[in-house]
Amino acid sequence: MLKLAFLFLIVGVVFAVLGFGGIAGAFIGIAKILFFIALALFLIFLVLGLLAGKAVKDAID
């Protein structure tokens, strides 16, 4: 998902340089949304992974 966000950011910057302000803003807005979704998913899976690892460690001991 970060690759897609980066792609939208690059396309938005290219459109901005070429003078297409409206579509560039839309692409950059989509890139921001995708970045924050990816960040939220990362944090959720990080917490779940830490909790699962703790449960496995407790089960082994």
Q: What is the pLDDT of residues 13-48, one digit of tens each?
A: 999 999 999 999 999 999 999 999 999 999 999 999
Enumerate the domain spans of the chain: 2-60
pLDDT of 58 higher than 80? no
- Is the separation of the CB atoms in 54 and 41 below 8 Å? no
pLDDT at 1: 85
CB neighbours (10 Å) of residue 41? Answer: 11
Q: Please give the Cα distance from 29 to 24 (Å, whole number).
A: 9
Per-residue confidence (pLDDT) for residue 61, from 0 to 100 = 66
* 55 or 8, which is more confident: 8
Residues in Cβ contact with 7 at an 8 Å cutoff, skipping those fewer than 6 apart: none
Q: Which position has the token pair 């979704």?
A: 37
Six-digit token pair at 19? 């003078």
